[in-house]
Structures are given as C-alpha cells and as structure tokens.
C-alpha cells in the first residue's frame, strides 16, 4: 500500500498527518505519556519487515590485496525506531505533558524565550555519551517548566536514542518509603536513577525537608555529580543565592513597594530548601533560568480562554 511507505511520507512525499513525518506518536495513557510507532510506519519497505538490512562496507585489510568490499548486517531504521519508542516508554514522563514539544511552547516574556532557547540548545547540541551542562528552570506554577523538560527528554530519546528518566521528587520519596515497607533499600531505587544517562528531576525543593528526604536528594545528586552525569531540573523556588536585601532606608526613607511585597511574601530560595551542598553542585552542573513571578499561569489562562470561547467538551486530544 502506498500509505505504508517508510519515513511516513504518503502520496508522493506528503507527510503523514497524524505524526507529521515523525513516524511515532505520543499519547496520554493514564498518568503517563506513551509513544508508539505511527500506523504509517508500521510496516517497513526498506527491510520488508525483517528488521535488519545488509550494508556494504569497504576496508583495507592488507596492502597487497587492497581495499575490499564486504557486507554486514545492521539494524534497519524501523528496528531503531521501535527501540527508541520502547526507551521513551521507560522515561515515565507524565501524561499531562504528552503533547509537549519545543514547537508548541509559547514565550510570554524574555525569560521564557531564554528558557526555551537554553532547552533547545541543550537538546540539539547533546552528544550521546558525553557529559553536558544541564539546566535548571525556576518559575511560578503553570509556566511550562515540566513542558520544556518533557520536550527535551522526548528529543533526546526519540531522535537520538539516549537513555533518560524523569522523576517528580515527592513521588520519588514516596516510592522509596513504600520500598522500605517491602524490605527494599533506598539504594535499590536510587541506583538506576543515579546511573541513567540523562535524568530530569522535577519539583526540586518540594517536600517536608525531613532528614530522609534531604539524605535521598543528596545521595542522588552527589552520585550523578561525581560520575559527571547530565541532570536537568525544574523548581518553583528562586535560584537567587541571597534573599534580596531590604533597603532599610532608601533616599526618601521608605522601602520600595517591591521590597515590601517580597518581604511579606517571604520568597523562598532553593538554596535554603536544598542546602549548601546541593546548591553548590547545581551551580556547576546547570545553566540557571529564572522566570519572573508575573509569568502567566497557562493552566489558568487556558481555562479562562476555553470557558470564554468554547463550552466544556471534555478532554483535548493529545496529538503533538
């Protein structure tokens, strides 16, 4: 069938509408984002479904004989695609960001534009197996931090075949606590996360700040830091090293209203939440991106737009 062409091109080069030429689709399944090979690429015309292809190589084994041609068996692109889809399903990205890509991220201010730029640069410059400086996104709720983590991991895994994991920090603490009751050690759960090539830790700084939580986080980050592994983060806490000093008496004798507001809000710093040891390692491991407090909450603005323009019709489709 013409529809079943490799590379998701149908009818003379037009990209498949479902996967827009990507050959895979990502959908929300329960609480997780799951990838599958698109129907347009289910059967492979390159290898005829065998999953591997013969490729011709040339090499010189001896000067007397000169260059010799020989054939080797290699995995076909369809095999690689299936492997990458399986890798993606091991990342454990949340279902709510199944649609998240760089192309559908919108920047409402310069900081968000920079955030997208940093994440895209990271994703596109990444070389498999080579330590890279990660990034940490800080900002208020609903500003697309998890969205950018998901877009970045999606690119690394599906376009490059990198092994990656995503964890929401308080779910990790809960998983380890549950593990304790089943007789597992914390290390059994931390182990794979400290070794995976790229790890995204979401909601950094969240939790009760108990000794158990601090030790778990410290172990995870120290292990990754020591091994030179790349880690990405998102947090609601400010990345500033110091609380903004309140000017006790400005030229007029009054504090600015901004200072007064910050004092009332008691803005919390990530450095105070995670402690000196972790904060210091973050400085070395990551590019810092901080979104200002007035960055709009997309969950709210979308809700307002939806109720203005459309009556509620249930779930949106999760197509990319």
Q: Is 12 left (phi over 0), alpha (psi -120 to 50) or beta?
A: left
Q: Which does 147 bind (CB under 5 to 8 A by kind): Zn ion, Mg ion, ligand ATP, none?
A: ligand ATP
Q: How far apart are CA 225 and CA 217, in angstroms?
A: 12
Residue among 140, 83, 86 nearest 109 (CA): 140
Instruction: From 10-18, 32-40, 145-153, 249-257, give the range in contact with ligand ATP by CB under 6 A.
Output: 145-153
- 320 makes contact with ligand ATP (CB under 6 A): no
Q: How far apart are CA 252 and CA 243, in angstroms?
A: 22
Please report, as residue ranges, which positions from 250 to 309 form the binding site for ligand ATP (by CB under 6 A): 298-299
Report, in Å, the least distance between residue 224 CB and Zn ion. Answer: 36
Q: Which residue has the tokens 């919390």?
A: 268
From candidates 143, 230, 231, 238, binder to ligand ATP by CB under 6 A: 143
Report, in Å, the least distance between residue 268 CB and ligand ATP. Answer: 14
With CB atoms as reference, the residue minimizing the distance to ligand ATP is: 144
Give the start-end residues of each E strand in 164-274.
164-168, 198-202, 230-235
Report, in Å, the least distance between residue 130 CB and ligand ATP. Answer: 27
Q: Which does 165 bind (CB under 5 to 8 A by kind): Zn ion, ligand ATP, Mg ion, none?
A: none
Please report, as residue ranges, which positions from 97 to 116 form the binding site for ligand ATP (by CB under 6 A): 97, 100, 104-106, 112
Residues that bind Mg ion (CB under 5 A): 145-146
Cβ atoms within 10 Å of 186's Cβ, excluding its own: 18
- 46 makes contact with Zn ion (CB under 5 A): yes
Q: How far apart are CA 312 and CA 27, in angstroms?
A: 21
Q: Which does 96 bind (CB under 5 to 8 A by kind): Mg ion, Zn ion, ligand ATP, none?
A: ligand ATP
Tokens found for residue 294: 């007035």
Contacts of residue 113, defined as CB under 8 A and 6 or more positions apart, other chains included, come to 107
Nearer to ligand ATP, 102 or 279 (CB): 102
């Amino acid at each position: 069938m013409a529809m079943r062409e490799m590379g998701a091109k149908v009818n003379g080069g037009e990209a498949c509408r479902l996967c827009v030429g990507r050959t895979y689709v990502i959908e929300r399944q329960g609480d997780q984002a799951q990838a599958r090979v698109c129907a347009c690429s289910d059967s492979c015309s390159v290898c005829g479904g065998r999953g591997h292809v013969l490729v011709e190589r040339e090499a010189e084994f001896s000067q007397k004989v000169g260059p010799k041609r020989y054939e080797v068996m290699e995995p076909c692109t369809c095999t690689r695609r299936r492997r990458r889809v399986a890798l993606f399903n091991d990342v454990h990205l949340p279902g709510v960001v199944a649609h998240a890509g760089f192309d559908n991220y919108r920047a409402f201010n310069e900081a968000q534009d920079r955030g997208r730029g940093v994440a895209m640069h990271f994703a596109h410059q990444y070389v498999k197996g080579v330590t890279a400086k990660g990034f940490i996104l800080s900002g208020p709720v609903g500003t697309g931090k998890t969205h950018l983590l998901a877009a970045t991991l999606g690119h690394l895994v599906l376009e490059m075949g990198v092994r990656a994991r995503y964890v929401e920090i308080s779910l990790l603490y809960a998983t380890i606590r549950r593990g304790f009751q089943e007789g597992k050690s914390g290390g059994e759960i931390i182990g794979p996360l400290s070794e995976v090539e790229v790890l995204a830790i979401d909601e950094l700084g969240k939790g009760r700040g108990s000794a158990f939580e601090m030790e778990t986080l410290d172990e995870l980050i120290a292990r990754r830091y020591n091994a030179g592994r790349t880690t990405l983060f998102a947090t609601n806490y400010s990345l500033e090293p110091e609380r903004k000093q309140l000017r006790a008496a400005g030229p007029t004798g009054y504090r600015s209203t901004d200072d007064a507001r910050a004092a009332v809000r008691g803005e919390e710093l990530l450095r105070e939440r995670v402690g000196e040891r972790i904060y210091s390692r973050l400085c070395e491991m990551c590019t810092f991106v901080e979104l200002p407090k007035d960055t709009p909450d997309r969950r709210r603005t979308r809700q307002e737009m939806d109720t203005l323009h459309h009556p509620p019709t249930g779930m949106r489709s999760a197509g990319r």
